[in-house]
Structure 1
Amino acid sequence: MLPGASRHATATSRSAGGASRAVTRTLSDDPLGGTVRRTVLPSGLRVLTEAIPAMRSVSFGIWVAVGSRDETGTQAGAAHFLEHLLFKGTHKRGAMEISSAIEAVGGETNAFTTKEYTCYYARVLDEDLPLAIDVMCDLVADSTLEPADVETERGVILEEIAMYDDEPGDEVHDLFARSVYGNHPLGRLISGTVETITPMTRRQIQSFYRRRYVAPQILIAAAGNLDHATVVRLVRQAMHGSPLDTDPAEPAPYRPATPAVRTRAATTVVEPKETEQAHVVLGCPGIDRLDERRFALGVLNNVLGGGMSSRLFQEIRERRGLAYSVYSYASQYADSGLFGVYAGCAPTRIGEVLELTRTELARTAEHGITEAELARGKGMSKGSFVLGLEDTGSRMSRLAKGELLHGHLMPVDELLARVDAVTLDEVNTLAADLLARPMSLAVVGPFGESDFTA
C-alpha cells in the first residue's frame, strides 16, 4: 500500500490483450476536493485523477520525472529543447494540427521544464477531454523530431536565452543558484546556454528522448469533471502501439534524497550590467523537500519576506522606501535546497538594502520570531495552500507533485494539521541554524566584484 494512501477498495482491470492487469486504488475522498484514484498500468505508467463534478473543465497533464539536473554538461538544455520539439509534430499530426485541435474547442496547451521534471498539459471543457488525451499522449509518446524542426526551435531557444539576458530580475536568481551549486546540474540554466544549444544535434536530443521518456518515469494527472475509469481507458487507447506501450515494469521510485548535493563555500558573484536597478539575492543552502522542518521553514519564510506584512517588506519598502520589490523564498529539491532574499533597488541604495537585510537575518537568527508572527505565518501558509486549490490546474499539479516528488499524496486536512502543529521553538531553532549560515551574494547591475569586498 502506498504511504499516506487510504484503505479504500482495490480494483483491477485487464489490459486490451487480456493478459496484464492495471491496478487501481482509491487514495482519498477529500472533503475539500473530490475522489482521488490512482492506476498503475502494466508498463509502469501511472494515472492519477481527482473527480470534481462541480467543475465543467478538466486539466490534463503528462509529467515526466526528467529535468535539467538529469543532463550531462554537453547536454545542458536538452530537456528544455525537447519540450519545445514535442509540439512540432508526430507520425499522426503536424505542429498546426496539434495546436489547432485544442484551440478549436477553446482549450489551451502548454509545457514547462524544471530542474527535476517536465510537464505537458492541456485545459479543456469536460466534453473535450478525450481529444486532449489523444493529442497530448500522441505528442509526448511519438514525436518525430524532424531535422528541420530541430533547427527552427534551436533559433527560438537562442532567442529565448537572449531575451532572458535582458531580464536581470530573473537572471539574478540563476546567478545565485550557480554561486551555491557551482558546476553541479542544479547550478546550471534550465535553458542551457548558447555554447551548449548551438552545437546540440538531433541525434543527441533523440537519444535523450528515448532513454529518458520511458513509461515508468511518466505520470498522467487529471482533475475536474471526469470519470477515472474512462480516463484510464482513453490513455491506454492513446498509448497503444506507441513507444510508451512497453513490456511490464514497475513505476520508478521518486528521486532519492541521498547522497546530499555538495555546495560551495559562501561567495559573491557579480554580473556587471548597465541596468537602471540593482538586483540582488542574498542567501544560503537550505533544506531538501522531505526534511521534516519544511513546514517550519514555510512559516519562517512568511514572517521574514512572504508578504506585505513581513519583516523585510515592512523595513525596507514601507518604512524606508528603498526598494519596490523585496521578498524571501525557499527552493527545495530531492537532496538539497536554497533560501534567499531578493531585492530590486537603485544602485546607489544597494549597500543600505544589504545592510538592513543582513541585520534582519541576524536578528531573527538570534532572537527568533514572536507568537503573533507564528500565528500569522501559519495562517498565510494554510490560506495560500487552500486558495490555490480553487482551479483544476492547481489540483492536477498537486496530484502529480505528490506522486513524483514525495511518493504519496498528503491529504489536505493532514497538510493543514502539519502546519498547525509547527511550534515557536521549531521555527526559532530552524532560524538559528539557517539564518546564521554563511551567505552567498548574487548581484546583477552596474558593479564589479570589488564593490562588494570588505
Structure 2
Amino acid sequence: MNGAVDLPLGTPELEFRAAGDTLVRRSVLPSGIRVLSERVPGSRSATIGFWVAVGSRDEHPSDSGHPATFGSTHFLEHLLFKGTAARTALDIAVAFDAVGGEHNAVTAKEYTCYYAKVQDRDLPMAVEVLADMFTSSLLDPDEFESERRVILEELAMAGDDPADVASERFFEAVLGRHPLARPIGGDPETIGAATRDAVWEHYRANYRPQDLVVTVAGAVDHDRVVADLSRALAAAGWRLDDEGAPVERRDGGPATLVATTALTVVEKPNEQVNLVLGVPGLVATDDRRAVLSVLNTVFGAGMSSRLFQEVRERRGLAYSVYSFAPGYSDAGVFGMYAGCAPRNAATVAALMRTELERLAHHGVTPDEMERAVGYLGGASALALEDSDTRMSRLGRAELALGEFADLDEALRRVARVTADDVQALAADLAARPVSLVAVGPVDEHAFRSVVDQPEPRTDVA
C-alpha cells in the first residue's frame, strides 16, 4: 500500500494489502450497508462494531421543528442491550459471557458504536446477536424507565468527578452554541424529560440499512461476515434487495465558533483544582492533522513533553498534566489539562498558556522533532496490536475521513512534518481565543491575568 486509499461511497468493492500484510476489504451492499474488514495474520480473535454516524450533536431541541430528542442517543446505547423479540437482556449477556467475550457500546459526539470482541470461532454468534440488537430492540417501556434511573446515576457519578466537569465545561466554553458543545450523555434535565416515543422515533429514523457500517478486524473472513450479516438482517425483516445509497458523510467545512466565555469557575470543595485551558482546534480532515500530532506530542504527550517537564518535573506543581486535540467534522479543540493544589492553580494556568506561546514564538528543537516522530511511530504500532484499535480505525476511516491510511502512510505523513510547520501551527493556535475552566476551591480573581475576560462566569456546585 502506497498512500491512503480513498473510500468512495459509490464503489461497491475494494480490496488492498496494508502494513503488516493485513488484508483490507470493503463491500457496499445494494441496500447501502457498508462492511469493512481487516484480516490480521496470526490473529485468533476478532473485534466487530456496528456503527451509525449519529451522536449527541444530532439530537434536536424541542423548538427545532423536529421531535425533541435530547438524550436519545445515550438512551439507545443502553436500551439496545435490554432485549429484542428473540432475546432477553440476560440472553444477550449470556451469549457473550459463555464464550469469554466482551461486548459494549460507546456514544460519541458524531457516532454510536455497538461492539464485541470474541474468538474467531465465535464471530458468527457476535454478528447474529449484534444484528438482532441493532435492528430489533423493543425499547420496552418498563426497561426505559429503569434505564432512565441508571443513566441519571451515571450522570451523577460523572458530576462528582471534577475532571469530567471541567472537560464538559471546556467544550461548552470553546464551542459555544455549536451542537458539539453539548454533553454526550445528556444532562439530568434532558434525560428526565426524554420520552420513550421520542427515543423510538430517533431509533427508527437513524438505524436503517443506509446508516449501518459494520467493521471487523482480526481473524476475519470477509465473505463469511457479509453472508452471516445478510442472513441475520434478513431474518430481522430488513429488505436487503432494495436499492439504497449510503448516507453522505458530514460536510468537513470548518464551522464558525463563538465561545461563550473565556473564564468559567465551578466552585467545588475538592482537594485539587482541575484546570482545562485551550482554544478552537482543527477539523478531522484538516491537512495539518499530522502537524498537530507532532505538535501535541512535543507539547503535552508523554513524560518528556514540555508541559510534563515544566509543570511536574521542574516545578512539582501537578501530578497529571497533558494536552489533547480531538477533531470533528466541522470543529475541533486543542486543550491542556492539569490537576493541582488550589494555591498553585493560577501559576499552573499561566504556565500552560506561556508554554503554548513559547512554542509559537520559538518553535521546536531537532531533538524534539526526532523524539516526537519516534513516539508517534511506536505508540501507533503498539496500539495496532489490539484488534479493537484496528476495528475503530476502519470505522473512523469510513464514517469521518473517507480514506484509509495504514501505519506506513500515517508515519510517512508524520515524517514529512517540519519544525517550521509545527511553529506555524502553534502560532495559529496561540492566536485563537483562549478559554479556561477551573473546577475546585478557587476564586475567579486568581485567573484574571491568564484570560482576557473582565466578567467571568462563576457557578457554584
Question: TM-score normalized by structure 2?
Answer: 0.92
Contact 1:266 1:284 in 2 (8 A): no
Q: Which residue identity is paired with 1:77?
A: G
- SS of equivalent to 2:360: helix
Task: Give the structure 2 partner of residue 209 of structure 1.
Answer: 203
1:260 aligns with 2:249: no
> Does the 8 A contact of 2:53 with 2:111 survive in 1?
yes
Q: Secondary structure at the match of 2:320?
A: strand
Answering whether residue 149 of structure 2 is matched by residue 188 of structure 1, we say no
1:428 matched residue in structure 2: 423
Match of 1:49 in 2: 37
Distance 1:5 1:331 in 2: 23
Is the counterpart of residue 61 in structure 1 residue 49 in structure 2?
A: yes
- Per the TM alignment, residue 438 of structure 1 is displaced from its structure 2 partner at its CA by 2.8
Secondary structure in structure 1 of the residue aligned to 2:325: strand
Q: Deviations over 1:156-183 (max 9, x none)?
A: 0000000001111122111100011223
Partner AA of 1:417 in structure 2: R
> How far apart are 1:76 and its partner, in Å?
2.3
1:440 shift after superposition: 0.5
Mapping 1:225-374, distance limit 5 Å: 225-242=219-236, 244-245=238-239, 247-258=242-253, 260-264=255-259, 267-374=262-369
CA offset digits 1:407-435 (Å, max 9, x no partner): 12113221111111111111111111112
1:390 partner SS: coil
- Show the counterpart of 1:36: 24
Aligned partners of 1:364, 1:4: CA distance in 2, in Å? 30
Show the counterpart of 1:5. 5
Question: 1:438: which partner in 2?
Answer: 433
Q: Is the 8 A contact 2:4 2:409 kept in 1?
A: no
Distance in 2 separating the partners of 1:4 and 1:331: 21
Q: 1:5 to 1:305 in 2, by over 3 A?
A: closer
Q: Is the 8 A contact 2:269 2:441 kept in 1?
A: yes
Select the residue among 161, 165, 175 that pairs with 1:167: 161
Is residue 395 from structure 1 mapped to residue 390 from structure 2 by the alignment? Answer: yes
TM-superposed deviation, 1:32 = 1.4
SS at 1:283 equivalent? strand
For the residues of structure 1 that align with 2:206 and 2:4, how far apart are their CA atoms?
Answer: 28
Q: In structure 2, which of residues 58, 76, 80 is the aligned counterpart of residue 70 of structure 1?
A: 58
Equivalent of 2:12 in 19, 23, 41: 23
Give the C-alpha shift of residue 258 in structure 1.
2.9
Alignment of 1:394-413 (within 5 A): 394-413=389-408
Check 1:261–1:68 CA distance in 2 against 1; reply closer, same or farther (3 A cut).
farther
Report which stretch shifted further, 441-450 or 134-143: 441-450
- CA contact under 8 A between 2:49 and 2:216: conserved in structure 1? yes
Alpha-carbon distance in 2 for matches of 1:228, 1:119: 20
CA, structure 1 residues 261+115, in 2 after alignment: closer, same or farther (shift >3 Å)? farther
> Which amino acid counterpart does residue 407 of structure 1 have in structure 2?
G
User: Cα deviation per residue 1:277-316 (whole Å; 9 max; x = unaligned)?
Assistant: 1000110001111111110111011111111001110011
Instruction: Establish whether residue 146 from structure 1 lines up as the match of residue 140 from structure 2.
Output: yes
Tell me whether 1:122 sits opposite 2:116 in the alignment: yes
**Kept after mapping to 1: 8 A contact 2:70/2:194:** no
Give the alignment partner of residue 213 of structure 2, picking from 211, 215, 219.
Answer: 219
In 2, the alpha carbon distance for the partners of 1:263 and 1:291 equals 20
User: More deviation in 215-224 or 202-211?
Assistant: 215-224
Residue number in structure 1 paired with 2:453 = none
Offset, 1:259? 5.6
Question: Within 1, Cα distance between the matches of 2:305 and 2:12?
Answer: 47
Structure 2 CA distance for aligned equivalents of residues 243 and 208 of structure 1: 19
Verify: 1:107 aligned to 2:96, yes or no.
no
1:81 aligns with 2:83: no
Aligned partner of residue 404 in structure 2, secondary structure = coil
436-445 vs 317-326, which deviates more? Answer: 436-445
Q: Does 1:133 align with 2:154?
A: no
AA matched with 1:110: N
TM-score, length-scaled by structure 1 = 0.93
> Percent identity at matched positions?
49
**Matches of 2:238 and 2:382, distance apart in 1:** 36
Conservation of the 8 A alpha-carbon contact between 2:69 and 2:194:
yes
> What is the Cα deviation at residue 400 of structure 1?
1.1
For 2:142, the aligned partner's letter is: A
**Aligned-partner SS, 1:209:** helix
Deviates more, 1:237-246 or 1:308-317: 237-246
Task: Give the unaligned 5+ runs of structure 1.
Answer: 8-21
d(CA) in 2 for partners of 1:146, 1:322? 51
Structure-2 residue corresponding to 1:15? none
Measure, in 2, the Cα distance between the counterparts of 1:75 and 1:438.
Answer: 31
Contact 1:142 1:243 in 2 (8 A): no
CA distance in 1, matches of 2:254, 2:411: 30
Q: Are 2:370 and 1:375 aligned?
A: yes
CA contact (8 A) 2:25 2:36 kept: yes
Pair 1:95 & 2:89 matched: yes
Q: Following TM superposition, where does structure 1 have runs of at least 4 consecutive aligned residues deviating by more than 4 angstroms?
A: none
> SS of the residue aligned with 1:42?
coil
CA displacement at 1:450 relative to structure 2 = 4.0
Shift of 1:448: 4.0
Distance 1:243 1:448, change over 3 A: farther
Q: Equivalents in 2 of 1:210, 1:448: separation in Å?
A: 48
Q: How many residues align?
A: 438
Q: Distance in 2 between matches of 1:414 and 1:259?
A: 25
Q: Answer yes or no: is the 8 Å Cα contact 1:365–1:436 preserved in 2.
A: no
Q: What SS class does the counterpart of residue 39 from structure 1 fall into? A: strand
Q: How far does residue 244 in structure 1 lie from its aligned partner after superposition?
A: 4.3
For the residues of structure 2 that align with 1:91 and 1:148, how far apart are their CA atoms?
15
